[in-house]
Amino acid sequence: MSAIYNFCAGPAMLPTAVMHKAQKEFVDWQGHGVSVMEISHRSKDYMAVAAKAEQRLRELMAIPDNYHVLFMHGGGRGQFSAVASNLLGSHGRALYLVSGQWSKAAAEEAQKIAGHAQIDVVDICVEDDGIRHVELSPLSGAAEDYRYLHYCPNETVDGIEIFENIDCPWPVVADMSSNILSREIDVSRFGLIYAGAQKNIGPSGLAIVIVRQDLLSLPSLTQASILDYRLARDNDSMFNTPPTFAWYLAGEVFAWLQEHGGVSAMDLNNIHKAKLLYHCIDSHPFYRNNVAKENRSRMNVTFHLADESLNGEFLAQAEARGLLALKGHRIVGGMRASIYNAMPYEGVQALVNFMTEFAEQHA
Ligand SMILES: *Cc1c(COP(=O)(O)O)cnc(C)c1O
């Protein structure tokens, strides 16, 4: 059988080597005769797995000592609530930048639980001649006293990525669910970073939170205990039973990243992969992408066929060649190829070969 390449946006493919290792130790972990998911989260062995995963993430992202790393439940959306509950305060204000579907959903969730607090929402996505880009300029001059600014540096559904740093006087909160560990960032520029795990880290359900210590000293909203950052911090993310298997697998992915050159190597590789695919899209009038070059996502490449009546045939032929899950999100339609860290260059090459042939067939 020829290689299968899975372009699913999430849950997404994990590194093949990690999957094989997990399979190998699935029922008999480190000679214990039981699975890592069958042992107590408070056992010495599991605590070591948990601590090692955190340490690896700290090394990979060069997380400064004045940041906590939390492993939480509830995926990305769980953090939409957690961020507002923990940081907003009963009469605080926060600014939400909207650049696509996920940042919009985060703002809506915050509004839902804000009570007497206030959520200001600014649309930063501009469409010019059908091409979308992000405009950060309205930020300068805003003099409000915000508890935090929230944005989503990579819009998974829309294929829009923000590479610029956000310049503002307030703590910046970033939803990095779909681009964490994909390129080098300076953690100290952020107040809080969170990510649902299933795009670039591991199995779904787990969320990673990296939060600057001082942000947890202000009064928060009343909230569910399992979303409470302070409880998570005080209990080493084990206030209740954490998603132990997901945490273990995340640790294995971090180890794989370290063995493969860390984030700087991923960064370069992801630039090459995205370049190859966008070049294919741009060089065939048969395909089009509607995001300005400076905001094109390196992780989620969206595109449409010139003749949308061929969508079904495109997907069927792709699948027959082992190129899976290319259908775009239902809200935006068209196609989407998610090419996270685990997607090898060869996978993108195989997709580009297919797209070139398909375009020539239908020219
Ligand atoms: C997938 C995704 C989410 C939602 O994650 P869930 O784990 O399904 O809640 C939130 N934000 C971004 C940017 C995502 O890509």
Pocket test for ligand 1, best of 71, 77, 200 (most atoms within 8 A of CB): 77
pLDDT at 277 over 60: yes
Which of the listed residues 215, 237, 259 is the one where a domain comes to its end? 259
Mean pLDDT of the chain: 96
The C-alpha atoms of residue 106 and residue 102 are separated, in whole angstroms, by: 6
Respond yes or no: is residue 44 known to be catalytic: no
- Global confidence as pTM: 0.97
Please state, in angstroms and rounded to a whole number, the distance separating the CA atoms of residues 30 and 223. Answer: 39
Instruction: Answer yes or no: 167 catalytic.
Output: no
Mean pLDDT of 112-122: 94
For residues 149 and 282, state if they share a domain.
no
Domain boundary (206, 240, 259) is at: 259
Domain boundary among 259, 277, 307: 259
Residues 204 and 265 in one domain: no
Residue 142 and residue 281 in one domain: no
329 lines ligand 1 (CB under 6 A): no
Whether residue 212 is found in the same domain as residue 269: no
Identify the domain containing residue 247 by its residue range.
17-259
Answer yes or no: do 229 and 315 share one domain: no
How many structural domains compose the chain?
2
pLDDT digit string, tens, across residues 279-320: 999 999 999 999 999 999 999 999 999 999 999 999 999 999
5 located within any domain: no
Give the model confidence (pLDDT) of 58-68 as tens digits: 999 999 999 99
At 142 the pLDDT is 60
pLDDT of 141 strictly over 60: no
Res. 138 pLDDT band, cuts 50 70 90:
low
Per-residue pLDDT reduced to its tens digit, 233-244: 999 999 999 999
- Please state the atom number of ligand 1 nearest to the C-alpha of residue 157: 15
How many Å apart are CA 336 and CA 317, to the nearest integer? 15
| CA–CA distance, 254 with 260 (Å, rounded to integer) | 10
Q: Is 293 a catalytic residue?
A: no
Angstrom distance (rounded) from CA 305 to CA 291: 15
Q: What is the pLDDT of residue 2?
A: 75
Task: Please tell me if the CB atom of residue 76 comes closer than 6 angstroms to any atom of ligand 1.
Answer: yes
pLDDT tens per residue, range 97-110: 999 999 999 999 99
If you average pLDDT over residues 61-90, what whole number do you get?
97
57 lines ligand 1 (CB under 6 A): no
Domain-embedded: residue 163: yes
Q: Pick the catalytic residue: 104, 158, 170, 199? A: 199
Cα distance between residue 12 and residue 339, in whole Å: 9
Judge if 334 and 311 occupy the same domain: yes
CATH code of the domain covering residue 77: 3.40.640.10
Residue 24 shares a structural domain with residue 96? yes
